[in-house]
Amino acid sequence: MTSSMTETSARGFTGSEPAVSLTGVSKDFGHVHAVRGVDLTIAPGEIVAFLGPNGAGKTTTIDMILGLTQPTAGEVEVLGLAPRHAIARGLVSAVMQTGGLLKDITVRETVAYTGSLFAHTRSIDEVLADAGISGIADRKVAKCSGGEQQRLRFAMALLSDPALLLLDEPTTGMDVEGRRTFWSTIREDAAKGRTVLFATHYLEEADQYADRIVLISQGRIVADGTGAEIKALASGRTVRATLPDADTAALAALGGVDHVEVRGDSVIVHAKDSDAVARYLLTQTPARDVEIAAKGIEEAFLSLTGHDESEIR
C-alpha cells in the first residue's frame, strides 16, 4: 500500500467499498430523460471510460457522481459515501474540459493558489512532477498549449490526493501527440492505485487508455466490457441503399447480417459480410445508390440500441 492510500484511509475510505456505485439512477430535465435507470459499479483502481455520442448522458452522470446535480431517482454512492461527503473529504477530484484558469499567472502560482484553498494538500513540486509539468512551472498559463493546460488542471486535481479522479472529455481539441502525453501521465499516476473514470466520444481513446469501457447511449448503458469486446460490437460495415418497400426479412436472413433498419425510402444494413449484402441488393432487388461504409461508433450505437437490451448485455 502506498503512503498516499494510507493517508486516504485516514479520511474514512478503507478501499473495500466500490469507488462508484450507481443503483437505478435516472435524471430528468423537464421532459428530457438524460439518464435512464443506470446500474454501475466501479471497483477501486479501475480505469473506466464512459463512451457515448453527444447527449448520451455522460456529463449528467459525472455531475451526479460529483454531487453537482441530484438524481431524479436512484442512489449514487462514492467510496461508500454520499457524493458531497466524499468531495468534502477530498476523496474525489475532477478535470473538466475548459475554464477555471487565470491566464496571467504561472503554472506553479496556479497550483499554489489552488492549494492555499485546502487545509491539507500534497506538495506543489510533487503534483507538478506527477502531472509532468515541472519543466514549465514558471511559464505563464497564457503561454501553455491546450495539452499543457489540461495537465495543469490535472496537477490541481492531484493536490488533495483523491482516490477517485473524474475527467470529462479531457482531451477535446488536443492533437494526437498532446493526447498521448496527457494519457500516459494519467495512466502512470493511476498505476499507483487511483480509480479513474473518464468520458469520451472516441472509441480509440477509450480502447487505448481504459481497462473497461461502459458504452452509453440515450441515457442507458448499452454495453460494458473490455476494449476488445466493445470493438467487436463496433466492427463490421454498414450498407445503405435506396430501396422503397425493402424486404427486411430477406435481408435479415442473409449470412452475417446484424441489423436491418428502414428510414423512409432507404434501407440500412449492418453486416459482417457487406459484399454479400451489396451483391444481394444489386442482383436480386431494384436497389439504387448502394454505399458501403465502415461501421463507426455512432453506427454501433444505433445497431446496439436497436436491439433488445437483454441481447447485448
Ligand X SMILES: Nc1ncnc2c1ncn2[C@@H]1O[C@H](COP(=O)(O)OP(=O)(O)OP(=O)(O)O)[C@@H](O)[C@H]1O
User: Interface residues with ligand X (CB under 6 A)?
Assistant: 29, 32, 34, 52, 54-60, 201
Using CA atoms, how far apart are residues 8 and 308, in angstroms rounded to an integer? 42
Cβ-based nearer residue to ligand X, 100 or 135: 100
Q: How far is the CB of 15 from ligand X (least distance, A)?
A: 29
Per the CB < 8 A criterion, the answer to whether 158 and 93 are in contact is yes
Cβ-based nearer residue to ligand X, 59 or 110: 59
Cβ-based nearer residue to ligand X, 22 or 241: 22
Per the CB < 8 A criterion, the answer to whether 88 and 81 are in contact is no
Cβ-based nearer residue to ligand X, 54 or 116: 54
Q: How far is the CB of 256 from ligand X (least distance, A)?
A: 31
The residue type of 72 is T
Cβ-based nearer residue to ligand X, 11 or 27: 27
Q: How far is the CB of 59 from ligand X (least distance, A)?
A: 3
Q: How far is the CB of 55 from ligand X (least distance, A)?
A: 4
Q: How far is the CB of 51 from ligand X (least distance, A)?
A: 10
